[in-house]
Amino acid sequence: MPYTVQVTISDLLIRKGPGTNYAANGYTGKGVFTIVDESDGVGASKWGKLKSGAGWISLDYAKKI
């Protein structure tokens, strides 16, 4: 299941859960990240859980590589 994504914007919010209704937990910055889980949630077509444990990001702004 784990896969990598490329984030090309510098201000993609990391959320504490899969949705904009969860508190922000910082930003990813640009780069390549490993996604270990997916979930539906408010504010994005799909949310991805970061392997680092930092939280969830909107996969609308991440390209699978």
Three-state DSSP string of 1-65: CCEEEEECCCCCEEECCCCCCCCEEEECCCEEEEEEEEEEECCEEEEEEECCCCCEEEHHHEEEC
pLDDT tens-digit profile, the chain (65 residues): 899 999 999 999 999 999 999 999 999 999 999 999 999 999 999 999 999 999 999 999 999 99
Identify whether the C-beta of residue 62 lies closer than 8 Å to the C-beta of residue 6.
yes
In this prediction the pTM is 0.94
